[in-house]
Structure 1
Amino acid sequence: MTFLDCVSRISARMPPALLVLLALVLPQGQACAETRYPGKAVRIVVPFAAGGVADITARVIAERLGVKLGGRFYVENQPGAGGIAAARTVISSPPDGHTLALLSNGTAISVSLFNKLPYDPLKDFVPVSSLGFFDFVFATNADSPFKTLADFIVAAKAKPGSLNVGTINVGSTQNLSAELFKTVAGIDFVIIPHRGTPEVLVSTMQGNLALMIDSYSAMKGNLADRKIRALASTGPVRSESAPDIATVQESGVADYDVVSWNALFAPAGTPPEIVKILNQALQEILAEPDVKKRLLELGIEARASTPEEISARLRSDIEKWRKVIEKAGIQKQ
C-alpha cells in the first residue's frame, strides 16, 4: 500500500491539518502500518470442538479472509456449555478487530437456557455478517413403516406418547426442534436425549427410535448408504443441499420453521470501519462458487448478510426459543 492509499483510507477519520502533520513527522511506512487492518493475526473463537459444522465453516472463512485481507486469520476452539468460555475470551479482548467470535443459533438458545449467562450477546458483541444457514433433517430407520412425515404424524395422533424421537442433549437446537414439532403439529411423543449424534444414529438404525432429528451433514453418509431414510427437512423451503427432501411444512405442518445459522461477531466497541472491512470481505468470499460448493457439501448454504440483518435474526431467535423452552418446561441450567 502506498502512502497516498493509506491517506485515502484514513482521511475520513482525521482532520486535514493532522494528516499534513502526520505526513511531515512520520515515515510513510509507519503511517500505513498503524492504520492497516489487520495489523496482526486475527483469531476467530469458536465455541465448539474441532471437526464440527461450525468449526469447518470458520476454517474455510478464516483461510479466505487471510487471502482477501492480506493477514493471518486462524480458528481457536473453546467448547463449553452456553459458549461461555468462548464469549468471555472475546469480550475481554481489545475491540480492535483482532479477536472475533463465531455466534450461532445456539447463542440465541443459551439466553433462555441458562440462569446466569455471564454475557449478553445483544450488548457485548457487534454483528459483522452471517456465514451460513442450515436445516435439520427428520429421519427414520430404513425399514420403518413411515414413508413420509405425514405417516409419523398420523401414528403419533393415533397413539399419543407411544413413539420415541431421538435428539442430542436437552437444550440443543435439535432437541428444541423436537419440542417445537410437538407443539406446532399438535402431537405427543417421547423425546429421548442422547450424549451425541453417533448414539442417536445407532439407536435409529437399531429401530429403537421412530424418528431422529439432526443436521444433514451428520447423517449424510448413512442416508447415502440407505441405513436411514429422510422424511423431511426443517426449513421453510427445500434445502439446496438436499432438494429431494420435502419440508415439514410440505408434510402438513404449516407453521414449522427451523433454520440454524453461524455468524461472525466482534466485541462491543469495535470500530465501525473494521466491521465494514470484514463485512465487505465476507460478502465477496461467500459469493465465490467454490466456497459455496464446499459449504453446501456440509449442508450449509453460504450467505452473507448486513450487520443489521444478522442482529435482527439473533433477536428474533432469542424470543422464538424462549417460548419453546418455557412451554417445554425445560429447567434452566
Structure 2
Amino acid sequence: MPISRRVLLGSAALASASLVRPVLAQANAWPARPIRVVLGFAPGGVGDFTARLVMPRLSEALGQPIVIDNRPSAGGIIAAEAVARSAPDGYTLLLLTTTNSTAASLYRSLSYDVTRDFAPIGRMTAFDHVLLTAANSPYRSLQEVFAAARAAPGSINIGSISVGNAQHLGAELLRRMADVDLTVVPYRSTPDLVNATATGDVHIASEILAPVLSQIQGGRLRALAMTSATRFPLLPEVPTAVEAGLPDYVVGSWNGLAGPARTPPAVVERINREMVRVLADGDVRARLNELGVQPAASSPEEFAAFLRSEGARWGRVIEAANIPKQ
C-alpha cells in the first residue's frame, strides 16, 4: 500500500508539472512580438507626452517595440472598448486615466466595466492640478475669491474643460467643499480656457498644471493654489489648497497601464516590474517633474484598489453636482 500510494503521488506530481510547464514557458517567452498601448486621446497633450517618454524605456526593458495607438473619443470609450475586447495575451494594453474611472457615472451605458473587464498592471504617473486667475486679477488668494463669492452669490465663475473630466469635477468639488456659489463654466480646450482666464472672462480656473506652467512662469497667469498634497518644487511660493484654508481638498489626474481581463499574472507582474524600474530612473523622473508630472508607480493590487476608490469618489461628486448622464 505505501508503494502504491507513493507511485500515485509521483504520477500526480508529474501530471501537475506537465500542466505548469506550458504556462511557465509561455510567460518566459513573452513578449515575442511588438506591444500596442492604446490611448483614449489625441497626440500632443501631457498624457500623450508622458506615454511617449515612458514607453520607449519600457520597450528597451521588455526587448520589443511598443507602438502607441491614439484613439481619441469622449471618455476614452473607443480605446477602452478596443482593449477590453482584445486577446488577453499582454500584446494590447490600455493607458487608463482618471476619465476611465468616472465613465460609469457619466454614461448611461457602457459595453465594459473598468473594474471587471481589465487587468490592472499599475499606476504610472500623477498630474498636479492648479487653481488659476489672471495675472492682473484682484484676487491673490483662494480666500479672497471665496469672500467675493459670498458677498455676491453667483457673481464669480470657475472655468474648466470638458464636462466630466478631472478638471471639471475638481471645480465642482471646490464649489461643494468651500460651500460657495461659484458658477462652473466648461470650455472646449485648454487654450480656450487659458485665454478666457488671462482676459478676466474667467475669474478662477481649474486645470492640470503641465499645460499652463509656462503661462504662470511667464507672468500671464497667477497660481492661487496647487490642489496637490504638497507644493510643486518649481512653484515653491504657491500654497496648496489645504494650506490656503480648504482642508482635504486634494485633486489630481493620473494614468496607468492595464490589459484585458484574464491577462496572465506572470505577464502583468513582468510589465509592472519593468515599469517601476523605468519610473525610478533619474532622467525620466527629472523630465516628468519639469512638466508637473509625478512618477506614481504602484503594484497591480494597489492600482486595482485605487481604481475602485476613484470611481466611488468621483461618482459621489457627479451625483451631488447633478451632472446628467450622457
C-alpha distance in 2, partners of 1:16/1:167?
57
Alignment of 1:233-244 (within 5 A): 233-240=226-233, 242-244=235-237
Q: Is residue 191 of structure 2 the alignment partner of residue 198 of structure 1?
A: yes
Separation in structure 1 between the aligned mates of residue 20 and residue 73 of structure 2, nearest angstrom: 47
- Specify which of 230, 243, 257 is matched with residue 250 of structure 1: 243
Equivalent of 1:161 in 154, 158, 178: 154
CA drift of 1:244 comes to 3.0
Distance 1:215 1:137 in 2: 6
User: How many angstroms does 1:239 deviate by?
Assistant: 3.1
Task: Work out the CA distance in 1 between the residues paired with 2:278 and 2:192.
Answer: 36
Q: 2:289 aligns with which of 285, 292, 296?
A: 296
Answer yes or no: is the 8 Å Cα contact 2:97–2:254 preserved in 1. yes
Contact 2:55/2:66, CA 8 A, preserved across alignment:
yes
The aligned runs of 1:29-48 (5 Å cut-off) are 35-48=28-41
Q: Which amino acid aligns with 1:226?
A: G
Deviations 1:20-49 (A, max 9, x none): xx9xxxxxxxx9799422111000000011
For residues 145-224 of structure 1, the aligned pairs below 5 Å read 145-224=138-217
Q: How does 1:1-333 map to 2 (within 5 A)?
A: 15=17, 35-240=28-233, 242-333=235-326
Q: 1:218 to 1:155 in 2, by over 3 A?
A: same
Contact 2:166 2:252 in 1 (8 A): no
**CA distance, structure 1, for counterparts of residue 159 and residue 209 of structure 2:** 15
C-alpha change, 1:111 and 1:32, in structure 2 (3 Å) is: closer
- Residues 144-192 of structure 1 show CA distances to partners (whole Å, capped at 9, x for unaligned) of 1111112111111111110121111221211111110011011111111
Secondary structure (helix, strand or coil) at the match of 2:37 reads: strand
Q: Using the TM superposition, give the Cα deviation of residue 257 of structure 1 relative to its aligned residue in structure 2, in angstroms.
A: 1.5
3-state SS, counterpart of residue 15 of structure 1:
helix
Residue of structure 1 in register with 2:12 after alignment: none
Residue identity matched to 2:291: L
Unaligned runs of 5+ in 1: 1-12, 23-30
Letter paired with 1:263: G
Deviations, residues 41-80 of structure 1 (Å, cap 9, x unaligned) = 0000000110111111111221011111111112100110
Say what the alpha-carbon RMSD is for the aligned residues. 1.9
SS at match of 1:122: coil
% identical aligned pairs:
40
When residues 252 and 269 of structure 1 are mapped into structure 2, their CA distance, relative to the original with a 3 A threshold, is same
What amino acid maps onto 1:67 in structure 2?
E
SS in structure 1 of the partner of residue 33 of structure 2: coil
| CA displacement, residues 89-124 of structure 1 (integer Å, 9 cap, x when unaligned) | 111111010000011111111110011021100000
Deviation larger for 249-258 or 33-42: 33-42
Q: For the Cα contact (< 8 Å) 1:59–1:74, is it kept in 2?
A: no
What is the deviation of 1:245?
A: 1.9
Q: How many residues align?
A: 311
Residues in 2 aligned to 1:242 and 1:38: alpha-carbon distance in whole angstroms = 42
The 2-side partners of 1:155 and 1:243 are apart by 26
Deviation at 1:17, TM superposition (A): 9.8
Question: Which shifted more, 31-40 or 116-125?
Answer: 31-40
Q: Determine the C-alpha separation between the residues in 1 that align with 2:228 and 2:94.
A: 25
1:56 partner letter: F
The 3-state SS of whatever aligns with 2:257 is strand
Instruction: Please list every run of 5 or more consecutive structure 2 residues that lacks an aligned counterpart in the other structure.
Output: 1-14
CA–CA distance in 2 between the matches of 1:182 and 1:285? 38
Structure 1 residue 218 displacement after superposition: 1.2
Which letter does structure 1 place at the counterpart of 2:180? I
The normalised TM-score by structure 2 is 0.91
Aligned partners of 1:102 and 1:262 also within 8 Å:
yes
Shift of residue 15, structure 1, vs aligned partner: 1.6
Residue 101 of structure 1: SS of its match in structure 2? strand
- Give the Cα–Cα distance (whole angstroms) in 2 for the partners of residues 34 and 263 of structure 1: 22
Q: 1:33 to 1:113 in 2, by over 3 A?
A: closer
Contact in 2 for aligned 1:240/1:301 (Cα 8 Å): no
